[in-house]
A and B are shown apart, each in its own frame.
Chain A
Amino acid sequence: MNQIHKMFLIGLLAGAIIGNVIGIMFSMFSGTGLCPVSDQLILDAGSETSAIVVQTIISAVLGAIIFGTTFVYDLEGWSIAKSTLVHSVITFCTFVPSAYALYWMDRSAEGIALYLVIIVAIYVSIWLSQYLSYKSEIKKINDMLKKE
């Protein structure tokens, strides 16, 4: 099994778990009692069990795509900025439709904009942390080279 398949399977499992944790968090904040799925999704799916199954499947697929495409960070010749931009677009294009379908967001332009801001903020911090981490490693290398 190669690294991409491994990440895909890890993502499938992590997505299923995280998806339901997100559902529980949303229910806690909305004050509707502890339930892993939204009331609207239960209405759409017909029952709470069906809603949980739908949410688990969608979030597992979402996790598999997001984790499985992390290989873009290892592509030869791709800068941190390019890898981060491509992965953020993949995340946005998969997360927003999933969040929309599972009622994790307001079904409005504002709801989409809010997710856009959150995703941009997350990926800017990923880019910055990676950039600073490599910069620090390269500084150590240059210090070693100066000593020689």
Chain B
Amino acid sequence: MKVNIRLEKGCKEPHVEIFTDTVTDDVKSLADRIANLSTSTLTVYRDDEAFILHQENIIRFYTESKKTYAETNDGTFMVKQPLCKIEEELSEDLFIRVSQSEIVSLGNIESMSIDIMGTVTVRLDNGTSSVVSRRNVTSIKNALEIKGKVRHS
């Protein structure tokens, strides 16, 4: 199969077109695989190099100085989309928003705590701690409950 990549200015979201004279099962299967791939992976950047990351490998997304980053065990990468756009693409089973500037992987949450002042923090298994908006505490609990039920069913 011939594969072309065409660079287009202003084309922020990559899209794939398949040219064929017949829609066979193979073509349908290919289209399905591409569609699933685009939702479970994310293009990220580091030192002008582009990488494709699987959502499962991302520990958290955060915004700092108006830039969005994805943190993994292999380091931090820059993401071109804003956090709200990334949130739309992420699997709800894998990620949860903890504050206006941060989305974390549910599977990487180690523990949560509240200090005497009433500041809630989440600790991730890579040692990172992040402040949690109190309005998100219930949604974190619900997401973990659903995740636990899915795992045990």
Contacts and interface: CB of A to CB of B under 8 A. Distances in A.
Interface in A104-148: 127, 130-131, 134-135, 137-138, 140-142, 144-145, 147-148
A101 interface: no
B120 A138 contact: yes
Interface of B is mostly: mixed
A134 B99 contact: no
Contact of A145 (B115, B131, B144): B144
Interface residues of A, number: 24
Contacts, number: 63
A76 B118 contact: no
A123 B151 CA distance: 42
Interface in A80-124: 80-84
Given A134-B134, A144-B148, A76 B114 contact: no
Given A74-B135, A145-B111, A148-B148, A130 B118 contact: yes
Contact of B151 (A81, A82, A130, A148): A148
B119 interface: yes
Interface of A is mostly: helix
Given A79-B118, A131-B118, A145 B135 contact: no
B118 A134 contact: yes
A79 B132 CA distance: 10
B87 to A, nearest CB: 16
Nearest to B118: A80
B34 interface: no
A31 interface: no
A72 to B, nearest CB: 12
A141 B112 contact: yes
Given A134-B134, A144-B145, 19 more contacts: A76-B100, A76-B101, A77-B99, A77-B131, A79-B118, A80-B118, A80-B119, A80-B134, A82-B118, A83-B118, A131-B116, A131-B118, A138-B113, A138-B114, A138-B137, A140-B141, A141-B112, A141-B141, A145-B112
Interface of B: 99-101, 109-120, 131, 133-135, 137-138, 140-141, 144-145, 148, 151
Ranked 8 nearest A-B pairs via Cβ: A80-B118, A79-B117, A81-B117, A79-B119, A79-B118, A138-B112, A144-B144, A76-B100
